[in-house]
């Protein structure tokens, strides 16, 4: 349940208050296996999901079948229509399990409706939700910053630089696999791997599994 995870949705809310909200809002939890579809944004369920175990990804499939990873979700991550921008009519946007995971679902209407008891913790959750919307907008801006680069190398270097800046050091762990990274920067995996090899040969970066180290900044 949500009381066991650290999530920005519940910042400033005690475990006791969270427990009360779970009962009041009709929160329910489900667990999933790898490749299971956790949530389909086209179903009209209008829920807010909180990942309480495992990992997942928000992916978009366009009308031509092209796959793009929109977001990587870890424990504490939140997803839902309230946190998404308008999708194209022909696109399919789903949340897919990448490691066995569990998700707690909260009806979006319950989070945003006026609380009859004027509970302070309800107000905090609403404030947290709006803060999450702002954070999602920032993440989208970062994505645009990466995708606006013309070459695969420029996209990779920009993405690596942004990740390193977040952690304050030149070495960091990718939040997803290299195949998923190719999807994230919207490029062919084989072409990306060839470019990564060139970058390693030129000692721009070192890649060991998911660990990336920027060796030389240009």
Nearest C-alpha neighbor of 126 from the set 110, 149, 137: 110
Mean pLDDT, range 24-29, rounded to an integer? 84
Domain containing 208: what range? 149-214
- pTM above 0.85? no
Percent of the chain predicted with pLDDT > 90: 30
List the beta bridge partners of residue 55.
99
Write down which residue in 87, 110, 144 finishes a domain. Answer: 144
Instruction: Name every residue whose Cβ is closer than 8 Å to that of residue 76 and which is 6 or more positions away in sequence.
Output: 5, 6, 7, 8, 50, 51
Residue 56 has pLDDT above 90, yes or no: yes
The domain that contains 16 carries what CATH number?
A: 2.60.120.10
Residue 38 to residue 42: CA distance in whole angstroms:
12
Residue 156 has pLDDT above 90, yes or no: yes
The domain that contains 199 carries what CATH number?
A: 1.10.10.10
What pLDDT does residue 218 have? 57
Residue 184 to residue 163: CA distance in whole angstroms:
14
Residue 175 has pLDDT above 70, yes or no: yes
139 and 157 co-located in one domain: no
Of the spans 57-71, 129-143, 152-166, which averages the highest pLDDT?
A: 152-166
Residue 12 has pLDDT above 70, yes or no: yes
121 and 23 co-located in one domain: yes
Of the listed ranges 3-7, 78-82, 178-182, 210-214, the least confidently predicted one is 3-7
181 and 112 co-located in one domain: no
Residue 217 has pLDDT above 70, yes or no: no
204 and 120 co-located in one domain: no
Residue 148 has pLDDT above 90, yes or no: no
Residue 174 has pLDDT above 60, yes or no: yes
Q: Provide the token pair at 121.
A: 């913790």
What pLDDT does residue 84 have? 72
- How crowded is residue 194: how many other Cβ atoms within 10 Å of its Cβ? 12
47 and 116 co-located in one domain: yes
Mean pLDDT, range 67-82, rounded to an integer? 85
Write down which residue in 126, 144, 162 finishes a domain. Answer: 144
What is the number of structural domains in the chain? 2
CB 67 within 8 A of CB 183: yes
7 and 79 co-located in one domain: yes
């Amino acid at each position: 349940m949500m009381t066991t995870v650290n999530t920005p949705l519940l910042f400033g809310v005690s475990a006791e208050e969270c427990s009360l909200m779970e009962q009041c809002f009709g929160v329910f939890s489900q667990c999933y296996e790898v490749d299971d579809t956790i949530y389909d944004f086209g179903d009209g369920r209008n829920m807010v999901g909180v990942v309480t175990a495992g990992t997942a990804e928000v992916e978009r499939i366009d009308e031509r079948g092209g796959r793009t990873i929109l977001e990587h979700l870890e424990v504490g991550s939140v997803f839902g229509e309230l946190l998404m921008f308008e999708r194209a009519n022909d696109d399919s946007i789903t949340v897919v399990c990448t490691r066995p995971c569990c998700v707690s679902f909260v009806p979006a209407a319950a989070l945003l409706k006026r609380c009859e008891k004027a509970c302070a913790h309800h107000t905090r959750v609403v404030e947290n939700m709006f803060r999450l919307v702002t954070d999602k907008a920032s993440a989208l801006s970062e994505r645009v910053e990466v995708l606006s680069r013309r070459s695969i190398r420029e996209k990779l270097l920009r993405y690596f630089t942004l990740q390193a800046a977040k952690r304050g050091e030149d070495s960091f762990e990718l939040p997803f696999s290299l195949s998923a990274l190719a999807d994230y920067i919207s490029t062919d995996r084989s072409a990306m791997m060839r470019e990564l090899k060139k970058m390693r040969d030129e000692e721009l970066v070192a890649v060991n599994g998911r660990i990336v180290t920027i060796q030389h900044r240009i």
